[in-house]
Amino acid sequence: MALNFKDCTLYQLDETFNLEQIDDCQVLQNWLSKKLEISALEQQVITMLQKNLKTHVYDWNEVELIQFFIGPIFSLLNFSTKKFSLFAERPFSGTVAGIDMAGRPDGIIAAGFRKPKQPFFCFQEYKKEKDPEGDPAAQALAAMLVAQEINEHKHPIYGCYVRGQHWFFMALQEAKYCISDPYAATRNDIFDIFRILKVLKQMVTELVEH
């Protein structure tokens, strides 16, 4: 049996790997609630990007959403270093409970300079606002399960999926996972989204250095 990330559903993953979605998840809450300052320059750029999003989010396809909003947000955060980077559409695979799983996540944060080596936390699946294809939560979770195996269950795995203006953050620890309420990038939530991603960069940096 083999699974492609893009074909997965939450029901299928729950049944296949005996997973449980939980509501009270301290691991996720610790990530989402941590405070970090957003500079005046960052606020200015974020506000500009948000204005563009508000105008076009209902019409953009997935590529346009990535190119004109999500990509610039990640460029502002600058996840690309000599030790780890944000990689897009790279082949990613592994074996979970004897089942081969593979796909091309829209984005992964992994150790490595020219190509991903050790995956760390965040796996993205970006979907357009209207009529998205597939189950983005399941696609992200499937990639997170593979990352958990590669990391030998040493730490929680964090993920995120985006549907148009709405961002959902995820955490996986052993066989339990949780999904946040949506953060709307067209509202003031956008500053929380940026802060959460900035915290993620700090977490990845600390892990790499240790």
121-174 tens-digit pLDDT: 767 767 766 666 678 899 999 999 999 999 899 889 999 999 889 999 999 999
Residue 205's DSSP bridge partners are: none
CATH code of the domain containing 199: 3.90.1570
Residue-number span of the structural domain to which 182 is assigned = 2-209
pLDDT tens string 85-117 = 989 889 889 999 999 999 998 888 888 878 877
Q: Round to whole Å and give the CA distance between 162 and 122.
A: 12
Name the domain count of the chain: 1
Question: pTM score > 0.85 for this model?
Answer: yes
**Among the listed residues 109, 117, 69, the one whose alpha carbon sits nearest the alpha carbon of residue 199:** 109
pLDDT tens string 42-85 = 999 999 999 999 999 999 988 899 999 999 999 999 988 888 99
Cα distances from 169 to residues 20, 36, 157, in angstroms, run 16, 17, 11
Which H/E stretch holds residue 28?
helix 26-33
Structure confidence at residue 81 (pLDDT) = 85
Residue 87's DSSP bridge partners are: 108
